[in-house]
Amino acid sequence: MALQQIELEVPTTLSDIKLWQYQKYMKIIEQNKTEDAEDEDKINDFLNMKLVEIFCNVSLKEVSKIPLKEYNKILEVLNKAFEEKPNLIQRFDLLDVDMGFIPNLDDITLGEYVDLETNITDWQKMHKAMAVLYRPVNFKAEDKYGIAPYKVNEEIQEAMKDMPLDVAISSMVFFYALGKELLGAIPKYLEQNLKKEDMQMLDQHLQKNGVGINQFMHSLKEMSETSMQLPNFHSTSV
């Protein structure tokens, strides 16, 4: 009996991977954390199979039928892709729409920053943070461009799940690199420019989401003192 041939496309770069795929994989990692050494090898084997299933768009049943030698090669290719450290990607195409990174982060509004800070540290909300950083380009002139004003739009947020992973990671690295300078200025800006009633309104808004203004300020201070790191990618051993 002839062996069933399995056709799959293995991503060789982060640009071949969608944000939603990485979000799905990260969720599985979170659900399978263990401190039991006896279970660690079994869980790692399972995560490796899910790695191939999600990023190569095949079923787990099909993954189990891949010859071991080829399976190990696939893991090597995937791990190499995640060694990339992309520079900021300012423009990319999303569903035939030209998307652009905020041209000047110095002009970021308080509302934009609150939504960004709320979502950018959680992979499952990362598409919402990306909808703040990247928006449809509405103006082009040589090497300059403008983007649409920020407005919370669930449809756009969901669409951002289809963005290439290298774009998302490049913007995160860039944002964190600027974090100390940018975030260090925000608490001072709030104190100097917001009226007392505006601060109270902001406090009430943040409390609805489980934090208060003092905790919010403390978070900004911590982010200004230490550079944030991307979540660790599960490294497979082959």
Which DSSP string corresponds to 119-154? HTT-GGGHHHHHHHHEEEEEEEETTEEEEPPP---H
d(CA 224, CA 1): 63
3-state DSSP assignment of residue 178: helix
Task: Give the up-direction half-sphere exposure of residue 183: CA atoms within 13 A in the CB hemisphere.
Answer: 22
- The whole-number pLDDT of residue 34 equals 78
Average pLDDT over residues 134-152: 94
Residue carrying structure tokens 């496309």: 9
pLDDT of residue 61 exceeding 80, the answer is: yes
d(CA 215, CA 207): 10
d(CA 76, CA 81): 9
Q: How confident is the model at residue 186 (pLDDT cuts 50, 70, 90)?
A: low
- The whole-number pLDDT of residue 219 equals 47
DSSP string, 47-64: HHHHHHHHHHT--HHHHT
Average pLDDT over residues 143-170: 95
The arrangement of strands across the sheet holding 97-101 comes to 91-94, 97-101, 134-141, 144-147
Burial (CB count <10 Å: 0-12, 13-18, 19+), residue 33:
exposed
Q: What is the pTM of this model?
A: 0.79
Closest CA to 150 of 96, 101, 190: 101
- The whole-number pLDDT of residue 157 equals 97
Q: What is the pLDDT of residues 206-233, one digit of tens each?
A: 555 555 444 544 444 443 333 233 344 4
> What percent of the chain stands above pLDDT 90?
48
Average pLDDT over residues 181-196: 55
Angle, in degrees to the nearest 10, between helices 68-81 and 37-56: 80
Q: What is the pLDDT of residues 116-135, one digit of tens each?
A: 878 887 889 999 999 999 99
Average pLDDT over residues 179-192: 55
Burial (CB count <10 Å: 0-12, 13-18, 19+), residue 221:
middle
d(CA 8, CA 202): 50
- The whole-number pLDDT of residue 67 equals 93
Q: CB of 168 within 8 A of CB of 15? A: no
Average pLDDT over residues 165-173: 89
